[in-house]
Amino acid sequence: MPCVTAFAASASTPTPPESRTYDHILDTVVARYHLPGIALGVIEHGKVIYVATRGETVAGSGQKITPRTLFEIASNSKAMTTALLGRLVDQGKLRWDDPVTKYLPDFQMYDPWVTRNMRVADLLTHSSGLPEGGGDLMLWPEPNSFTRADIIHGLRYIKPGYSFRSKYEYDNLLYVVAGEVAAAAGGAPYETLMHREVFQPLGLSRCQVGEWNRDTVGDVAAPHAREDGRNIPRQSGNPVIAAITSAPAGGIRCDLDDMLTWARNWLVPTPAQLKWLSAKQRRVLQSPHMLIPVSEQRRDWDDSHIMAYGYGWRMTDVDGTWTVWHTGTLSGMYSELMLLPDQKDGFVFLINGEADAARTVLGEALLKHFTRPDDTRDVTWYADAQQRADEQASKRAAAPDTSKAVPVAPAALAAWTGRYRDPWLGDLALCPSGDRVHFAVAKSPRLNGDVMRLGKRDLVHWSRHGMDPDAWLDFHPAQGGQPATLTMAKVDPLGDFSSDYEDLHFVRTGDCP
């Protein structure tokens, strides 16, 4: 049964029209996309007027999602990281135009000039020159043994994809660096600062970052994968949730109640909240700093003319209304926080399943309730349109059918087996294992699998079910006295950009043991 807590109404009280509207939108999306669980809250004119949940924390468990259920908010963590930095600016401990090397002397980018000129602000706008998702394999898949120091060191080896400050390409690593800047300026670890400077002052009592215990905290949603028409939970049996390197970019967990408190802090800040973060810094965080190309779909659906990135926030005009927002995406966890600052309206939802299309459709249907209330295009219309767009994209960049790939015997790959090293991902063993050849990255245990052959090409098929996408392996012979090398690419061209295999360059370092 749904949980609706925003209206203290008796059984005889008529259901408000807004509730019926939101119920219909929510239920249609849940049914269309078979979501395992979701929590949704809506703010109108600064007040929370609707809170509803559907589904279970773990599919089949019988434990219902509540407004107090913790979800991974993924990249919605970025706005909390920038708010922490804004606090430090207010306190005189940091300036946005300070060089990053003032706080992190070992910080280096590939280009020495960029290193010298990289400001704290440049860490936040996705315009550093890093290719889209560059270096994300040091963050995901989890768990892995990369530290924040490893990331700061590894950045110097990632070749730029474009010139500094010239365009927008989404990255995560520099938000990890931003968290370390905050730690250096604030004199405490990022996790300590987040609790002390953000969670506690705002009363975000359930939000978690750093190490914590799932059983002690309780009511925690597990991520799910969609397989063979079923929602399959992905949850470790260990109740201790370890601190993770990626926290400043996407590692915070919160419940719906706290996310609504967080949202209202931006829409209708109280005097105490304006002391917590000044009006000046609020404007800085939510002002356009880097333009983002506007997609054809946004122009068609939303009549959008401009899109930009602030510090941890995106912003777009939708049907003539200014919106400030962000999404969060992790394997099996999707979220969206949408603000319409001029009207003091907004919404937030948290999903514990694979929900790329569902998030787009739900977000659009909810947004139209505010920006174009007479819109005749309902959830089904948007869902059908999104499905057509996804199908067209798949046809344009179709992934090959890998079902006929066969394991490669060690003898067939003898010329290439051995130990390799990439300057930022580290050591790789490509060695015989029984009658197969196994690929294993030392610092990322889930990046392991058997080498397969499809036609005339080799690929690695990841051992862990649900890991994607698989990767092509392209071997290059030794020449000019230099050792053999190995490069990689996504088998599925539309695979997640965080699987940045294309940025890897392995050099052979020795034989297999």
Of 368, 395, 422, the position where a domain reaches its end is 395
What is the CATH number for 426?
Answer: 2.40.128.50
Q: Are residues 416 and 362 in the same domain?
A: no
Q: Tell me: do 372 and 436 sit in the same domain.
A: no
For residue 8, is pLDDT > 60? no
Confidence check: pLDDT of 9 > 50: no
pLDDT at 11: 36
Say whether both 390 and 413 belong to one domain.
no
Whether the pLDDT of residue 15 is over 70: the answer is no
Give mean pLDDT, residues 68-74: 98
Q: What is the pLDDT of residue 466?
A: 63
Mean pLDDT of 414-419: 98
The pLDDT value recorded for residue 243 is 96
Please check whether residues 350 and 206 belong to one and the same domain.
Answer: yes
Question: What's the confidence (pLDDT) of residue 3?
Answer: 46
The string of pLDDT tens digits covering residues 178-219 is 999 999 999 999 999 999 999 999 999 999 999 999 999 999
* pLDDT in the model for residue 2: 42
Over residues 473-494, mean pLDDT:
95
On whether both 260 and 376 belong to a single domain, the answer is yes
pLDDT of residue 10: 32
Is the residue at 101 inside a domain?
no
Q: Does 226 share its domain with 357?
A: yes
Give strand ranges (E) for 319-447.
321-330, 333-340, 345-351, 406-407, 418-422, 426-433, 436-441
What are residue 337's phi and psi, to 5 degrees? -125, 120
Tell me whether residue 154 is in a domain: no
Number of domains in the chain: 2
Q: Is residue 360 part of a domain?
A: yes
pTM for the structure as a whole: 0.95
Per the prediction, the chain carries an average pLDDT of 95
Q: Which two tokens stand for residue 274?
A: 């304006």
Using the 3D structure, point to which of 340, 371, 395 is the last residue of a domain. Answer: 395
Can you give the residue range of the structural domain that contains 421?
A: 406-510
Give the SS3 label for residue 202. helix
Distances from the Cα of 329 to the Cα of 74, 235, 301, 354, 431, angstroms: 6, 17, 22, 9, 34
Judge whether 277 lies within some domain.
Answer: yes
- Give the per-residue SS3 of 135-180: CHHHCCCCCCCCCHHHHHHHHHHCCCCCCCCCCCCCCCHHHHHHHH
Residues 367 and 472 in one domain: no
Residue 13, pLDDT > 80, answer no
Residues 153, 155, 157: CA angle, nearest 5 degrees: 95
What residue spans of 268-327 are helical by DSSP H?
Answer: 271-276, 279-285, 296-302
Q: Where are the alpha helices (DSSP H) in 91-135?
A: 112-117
CA distance 309 to 326: 10
Q: How confident is the model at residue 6 (pLDDT cuts 50, 70, 90)?
A: very low
455 and 320 assigned to the same domain: no
In this predicted structure, which of 67-71, 175-179, 282-286, 397-401 has the lowest mean pLDDT? 397-401
Q: For 315, phi and psi rounded to 5 degrees?
A: -150, 145
87, pLDDT greater than 70: yes
Q: What is the DSSP letter of 76?
A: G
For 98-120, how does the pLDDT look when each residue is reduced to its tens digit (9 = 90+)? 999 999 999 999 999 999 999 99
- Is residue 400 in a domain? no
Claim to verify: residue 361 and residue 430 sit in the same structural domain: no
Burial class from Cβ neighbours inside 10 Å (0-12, 13-18, 19+) for residue 339 reads buried
Q: Tokens 């999104």 identify what position?
A: 386
Bridge partner residues of 254 (DSSP): 71
Residue 394 pLDDT grade (very low, low, confident, very high; cuts 50, 70, 90) = confident
> At how many degrees (to 10) do helices 173-186 and 77-90 cross?
30
Segment 440-483, tens digit of pLDDT: 999 999 999 999 999 999 999 999 866 778 999 999 999 999 99
CA 427 to CA 447: how far, in whole Å?
12
Contacts (Cβ under 8 Å, ≥6 apart) of 239: 213, 214, 215, 216
7-11, 73-77, 470-474: least confident range = 7-11
Are 391 and 447 within one domain?
A: no
Pair (421, 454) in one structural domain: yes
Residue 127: its pLDDT value, please?
Answer: 98
Confidence at residue 396, expressed as pLDDT on a 0 to 100 scale: 87
Same domain, 377 and 431: no
Residue 318 located in a structural domain? yes
Tell me the average pLDDT across 359-384.
97
Measure the CA–CA gap between 323 and 346, rounded to whole angstroms: 9
Contacts of 290 by beta carbon, 8 Å cutoff, 6+ apart:
125, 126, 127, 165, 168, 308, 309
Query: Would you say residue 114 lies in a domain?
Result: no
Question: Is 423 part of a structural domain of the chain?
Answer: yes
Which pLDDT belongs to residue 20?
92
The per-residue pLDDT for range 278-292, each reduced to its tens digit, is 999 999 999 999 999
284: domain CATH number is 3.40.710.10
